Amino acid sequence: MFEKLQAPPPDKILSLISAYAEDGRAGKIDLGVGVYRDETGATPVLASVREAERRLLAAQTTKSYLGMGGDPTFCRVIVPLVFGADAPAERIRALQTPGGSGALSILMGFAARLTSRIHIPEPSWGNHAAIARHVGLEIVRYPYFDAATGRVDFPAMKAALERAEPGDLVLLHGCCHNPTGADLTRGEWSELAGVLAERKLLALVDIAYQGFGDGLEEDAWAVRHLAGLLPEMLVASSCSKNFGIYRDRTGAAFVLGRSPEEAAIAEAQLMAEARTGYSMPPDHGAAVVRIILEDADLTARWRNEVETMRRRIADLRRGLAEAFRRRTNSGAYDFLTENRGMFSLIGVTPEEALRLRQEFGVYLVDDGRINIAGLKEDQIDAFVEAVVTVKG
Ligand code: PLP
Ligand code: TYF
């Protein structure tokens, strides 16, 4: 039977990992997959995570099954991290999931029972549309990014969502938009909240980079603001980036209900999604997060480490924009300092992206997305020169 099969197209981002590894050139630059890298190019295990792992290993007495929602204590302590200390906690239910991807998957599967359409920004992370298609949602793209300015085209976004049908699902990036790095301002979030409420749209906020933009609390502002205004909402969060536990597959799916009773029923539906998907999430990463967030001292150490990562990204953004300014004698790349998180679109075509890879050993996604954290300080000028050269 398998002779009928054709290989699906590869994941454009993940396939860069092996392409980069196989490149033997000394000066190669890896701006592909979205993982944080320190100044040596490493993605280290955080010290707070190592300490939590040490404690976990010493204290763990069983590896018996947990429920479909994972570790109940993780589910309790992750709520204030995302929704803040003043969260309407009685109306929020959380499920531990295999990464933010697992959360998106069960939340979209859940939503597909209630509605048939999802609005996704253009552009967005490729897996958003892939997962939506998989659960049978019709995908509508809303305009998001203005390539000419490197900023959000909010009037176009708002106008498109004002035309959405009541009950439609709307995917929003909570912070550090992937791939553009362009986020809404607080004023725009407030306006958007009005549209969502008025049009009776169901927001699904994906927050995968909390702490990499303006800070852990600042980056959750939009989620918290919407949670304070909307009757119902879905949130997918990821611990992959801010705890640096990518492969341990840790995230959370949240549902905000009109009442505690409705939230509990929705939670039971999410459990049913988890049951048919993977039964229950892996424990290790969530246990580490739980140990960190339950301990004030470890939490402080972890927050410092997130801040160090955030600062490095911000410094690189400034350094890169300055280098472009010097080389091009213009402010054409100043948007790099306004963008947030690890990504920006550098404005190259797929053909130019290919040239960057083949001629200069610069690996970036073919939509022109760069992972800023992949740059080493001493590579900035070479990268700028390569971009300017291929763009003629
Ligand atoms: N959402 C966005 C926008 C992402 O970029 C990622 C990336 O990894 C995820 C969700 C999910 O991440 P993970 O499943 O590794 O937690
Ligand atoms: O956008 C990125 O680079 C990260 C990592 O299927 C990623 O979100 C990319 C593709 C994928 C899973 C994770």
Q: How many alpha carbons fall within 13 Å on the CB side of residue 232? A: 21
Ligand 1 close to Cβ of residue 208 (< 6 A)? yes
For residue 12, is pLDDT > 90?
A: no
Q: Which domains does the chain have, with CATH numbers?
A: 11-44+311-390 (3.90.1150.10), 65-294 (3.40.640.10)
The Å distance, Cα 162 to ligand 1 centre, comes to 27
DSSP one-letter code for 367: T
- Contact in structure between 27 and 8 (CB atoms under 8 Å): no
**pLDDT at residue 314, as a whole number:** 98
Report the nearest-CA residue for atom 3 of ligand 2. 34
| Chain mean pLDDT for the chain | 97
Distance of CA 21 to the CA centre of its chain: 24
**pLDDT at residue 342, as a whole number:** 98
Q: Which of these, 240, 252, 249, 248, lies nearest to 211 by C-alpha position?
A: 240
Annotated catalytic residue: which of 52, 87, 111, 208?
208
**pLDDT at residue 36, as a whole number:** 98
Q: At what angle do helices 284-294 and 47-59 cross, to 10 degrees?
A: 100
**pLDDT at residue 392, as a whole number:** 83
Does the annotation mark 353 as catalytic? no
Q: Which residue has the tokens 């699906």?
A: 8
- Contact in structure between 223 and 174 (CB atoms under 8 Å): yes
Does the annotation mark 206 as catalytic? yes
- Contact in structure between 105 and 308 (CB atoms under 8 Å): no
Q: pLDDT confidence of 2, banded at 50, 70, 90?
A: very high
Annotated catalytic residue: which of 125, 219, 283, 302?
125
Q: How far apart are CA 236 and CA 360, in angstroms?
A: 37
Does the annotation mark 221 as catalytic? no
For residue 367, is pLDDT > 90?
A: yes
The string of pLDDT tens digits covering residues 180-228 is 999 999 999 999 999 999 999 999 999 999 999 999 999 999 999 999 9
**pLDDT at residue 11, as a whole number:** 86
Report the nearest-CA residue for atom 1 of ligand 2. 34
Q: How far apart are CA 29 and CA 22, in angstroms?
A: 13
Choose which residue among 14, 16, 125 to substitute to test ligand 1 binding: the one with the highest number of ligand atoms within 8 A of its C-beta: 125
For residue 106, is pLDDT > 90?
A: yes
Q: Is the ipTM of this complex over 0.90?
A: yes
